[in-house]
Chain A
Amino acid sequence: MTNSVFDPVALRSDFPIFQRTVRGGARLVFLDSGATSQKPRSVLDAERNFYENHNAAVNRGSYLLAEEANAAYESARQSVADFLNGKFEEVIFTKSATESLNLLAYSFGNSQSSSKFAVKPGDGIVVSEIEHHANLIPWQQLAKRTGAELSWFSVTPEGRLDLSNIDQVITEKTKIVAITHQSNVLGTIIPLAEIVKRAHAVGALVVLDACQSVPHFSIDVAALGIDFLAFSGHKALGPTGIGVLWGRSELLSEMEPFLTGGSMIESVTMTDATWAPIPRRFEAGVPNMAQAVGLEAALKYLTEVGMERVHGHELDLTASALSQISDIPGVKVVGPLDMKDRGGVISFTVEGVHPHDVGQVLDSFGIAVRTGHHCAWPLMRRMNVVGTTRASFYLYNTEDDVVALVDGIRSVQKYFGV
């Protein structure tokens, strides 16, 4: 995909899965990239090539394959750093974004009480009501373990983060502000700059859950001014089993490890151990090498298409879907109705039909959507819904997919007689 014209239909041929049909020959209308993305052939080839030609445990062997495996793995690290505009040693490979966020929470929790990362009774941890469970529960539990106080930004009925009380939410006591960049349910992109400014003014660290943003638009960690960022490879065209934690090197190099074991040590006796420098300090055990290499291929693919074009295309589809879906009587969009600070995710409810049933009928037409609470149970309660149906778009979706979705929703209503 190096041609200069962005053509999502042509691009679909890079993704083998779109060659198959589903449910009695239906075209696959995949609208669940918010959960996981499909993979281009180049990613699958990269993984296969690693196993077929270079497979050996990194950081250990003294033979040729091990050298090649090392080079491939560290090249992947550099590619992630370049993609985020961070530094090589600031990129930690994990198995998932969930692990990345837990790594932070446990590392902070493991700190000596004299450490600047220590979390103590009376300290504050700030999250928001739009967090995915992966960026809520690690902090909620850290607060419980340490006696720190968890507080949060609420969400407005329109699905925007409410910053009207930002000075009361982020206070002099706040140590950590952990927040999602874009809601996986509402599509809302948060006013990050304002939050970073306030957090840093009180000396708090900012952790960004970028699972829904890194795959979809260009991220520059230096420009954002954040301290840590987590994303998952599989939502960004990459393989499962590979996640990233990016952190500012001066912070990471002072932090306690999370998982301990091989690779992450400097020296070991029967009773003690010292830690390797970053990034290896945070990568215990043989890492997911082929998956890191696959992620590198994914980021290369996205870079060749161009993140600006990926984002622009998603916004076009979202605007089209948003206006058509919100026009259907009995269908309610949960989340912002305008395109301001909004990504390619649309949640909605169909009056009289449970989301699970909506998803089932859509599936009968080959349309894959997510239904339920989207790992954001507190947000569901806040928005007064038991669950929603969610369509999420990516670079391989087309206007035909939007048409199929809109027709599908009408068929749902007809089927259930609502």
Chain B
Amino acid sequence: MDLDSLYQEVILDHYKHPLHKGLSEEKTIQVHHVNPSCGDEITLNLLLEANMVADISWDGVGCSISQASTSIMSDLLIGKSISEAFSILDEFSGLMQSKGGSKGNEEVLEDAVALAGVSKFPARIKCALLGWMAFKDAASQGMSDEASNKQGEENG
């Protein structure tokens, strides 16, 4: 088995030196996600400013794949607009479902293409998606909060 296709150097680097790990005080919303099949947990703080992902910080325990993927995700999505972030997320989800058939679009996914090998290991896809799903949840909640606040202001 090609273990190295799963554990790319980039992944091991992110695992050992994760980016944006450690929760920041600055946040619009906080979410907590678990992977019940293996017990991995993540808490993610998301700061939204004018439809932009102003900051992501996170903390959690998990395997190299979940930790590296969350590290890569946060570094990639900070500074993007929410709609850009969601389209990157879709691209990454598609890559994870590709069963080893895709190398991933490096222009969009940057370091995240290193996780392409995960798609050959069905049991590990959830690990790779843990942080991304936490982001998706946080961003969706943050946007609906913002929408309802806006509506509240307009009504008021």
Asked whether A and B interact, the reply is yes
Task: Using CB atoms and an 8 Å cutoff, list the residues of chain A in contact with chain B.
Answer: 23-24, 353-357, 360-361, 363-364, 371-373, 377, 380, 386-387, 415-416
Are A361 and B63 neighbours in the complex by a CB distance under 8 Å?
Answer: no
| Complex Cα spacing A103 to B46, Å | 45
Chain B, 92-115, CB within 8 A of any chain A CB: none
Known A364-B3, A415-B3: A356·B38 in contact at CB below 8 Å: yes
Are A24 and B39 neighbours in the complex by a CB distance under 8 Å?
Answer: no
Cross-interface CB contact of A371 among B38, B62, B64, B65, cutoff 8 Å: B38
A357 CB → nearest B CB, Å: 5
Residues of chain B within 8 A (CB-CB) of A353 are 64
B26 CB → nearest A CB, Å: 28
Are A380 and B63 neighbours in the complex by a CB distance under 8 Å?
Answer: no
A378 CB → nearest B CB, Å: 12
| Complex Cα spacing A355 to B65, Å | 12
| Complex Cα spacing A373 to B41, Å | 12
Are B39 and A357 neighbours in the complex by a CB distance under 8 Å?
Answer: no
Chain B interface residue bracket vs A: 10 to 19
Are B127 and A361 neighbours in the complex by a CB distance under 8 Å?
Answer: no
Q: A354-B63, A360-B3, A373-B38 are in contact. List 4 more A-B contacts (CB 8 A).
A: A355-B63, A356-B64, A357-B7, A416-B64
Are A372 and B37 neighbours in the complex by a CB distance under 8 Å?
Answer: yes
| Complex Cα spacing A353 to B63, Å | 8
Residues of chain A within 8 A (CB-CB) of B6 are 360
B124 close to A (CB within 8 Å): yes
Residues of chain A within 8 A (CB-CB) of B147 are none
Are B39 and A387 neighbours in the complex by a CB distance under 8 Å?
Answer: yes
Cross-interface CB contact of B39 among A361, A363, A372, cutoff 8 Å: A372
Residues of chain A within 8 A (CB-CB) of B40 are 356, 386
Known A386-B39, A387-B39: A356·B65 in contact at CB below 8 Å: yes
Residues of chain A within 8 A (CB-CB) of B63 are 354-357
Residues of chain A within 8 A (CB-CB) of B127 are 356
A414 CB → nearest B CB, Å: 12
Cross-interface CB contact of B64 among A23, A357, A364, A377, cutoff 8 Å: A357
Known A23-B1, A360-B3, A415-B7: A380·B62 in contact at CB below 8 Å: no
- Per CB-CB distance, the 6 closest pairs between chain A and chain B, nearest first, are A356-B63, A354-B63, A23-B1, A373-B39, A372-B38, A364-B1
| Complex Cα spacing A361 to B121, Å | 12
Chain B, 19-62, CB within 8 A of any chain A CB: 37-40, 61-62
Show 10 residue pairs from A and B whose CB-CB distance is below 8 angstroms, ordered by the A residue: A353-B64, A355-B38, A356-B127, A357-B7, A360-B6, A360-B124, A364-B3, A387-B38, A415-B3, A416-B64
A106 CB → nearest B CB, Å: 24
B151 CB → nearest A CB, Å: 39
Residues of chain A within 8 A (CB-CB) of B62 are 354, 356, 386
Which of B6, B38, B62 has the most C-beta atoms of chain A within 10 angstroms of its own C-beta? B38
B10 close to A (CB within 8 Å): no
Residues of chain A within 8 A (CB-CB) of B64 are 353-354, 356-357, 416
Residue of B nearest to A365 (CB): B1
Interface flags for B125-148 (1: CB within 8 Å of A; 0: not) read: 001000000000000000000000
| Complex Cα spacing A357 to B6, Å | 10
| Complex Cα spacing A372 to B62, Å | 10
B62 CB → nearest A CB, Å: 7
Which of A356, A361, A387 has the most C-beta atoms of chain B within 10 angstroms of its own C-beta? A356
| Complex Cα spacing A354 to B35, Å | 14
Residues of chain B within 8 A (CB-CB) of A354 are 62-64
Known A360-B121, A372-B38: A386·B1 in contact at CB below 8 Å: no
Are A363 and B1 neighbours in the complex by a CB distance under 8 Å?
Answer: yes
Residues of chain B within 8 A (CB-CB) of A361 are 3
| Complex Cα spacing A353 to B6, Å | 15
| Complex Cα spacing A159 to B8, Å | 37
B74 CB → nearest A CB, Å: 19
Residues of chain A within 8 A (CB-CB) of B7 are 357, 415
| Complex Cα spacing A401 to B40, Å | 29
Residues of chain B within 8 A (CB-CB) of A371 are 38
Residues of chain B within 8 A (CB-CB) of A373 are 38-39
Are A377 and B3 neighbours in the complex by a CB distance under 8 Å?
Answer: no
| Complex Cα spacing A24 to B1, Å | 6
Residues of chain A within 8 A (CB-CB) of B39 are 372-373, 377, 380, 386-387
Known A354-B64, A372-B38: A416·B12 in contact at CB below 8 Å: yes
| Complex Cα spacing A372 to B37, Å | 8
A235 CB → nearest B CB, Å: 19
B31 CB → nearest A CB, Å: 19
| Complex Cα spacing A262 to B85, Å | 55
B120 CB → nearest A CB, Å: 12
A179 CB → nearest B CB, Å: 23
Residues of chain B within 8 A (CB-CB) of A355 are 38, 63
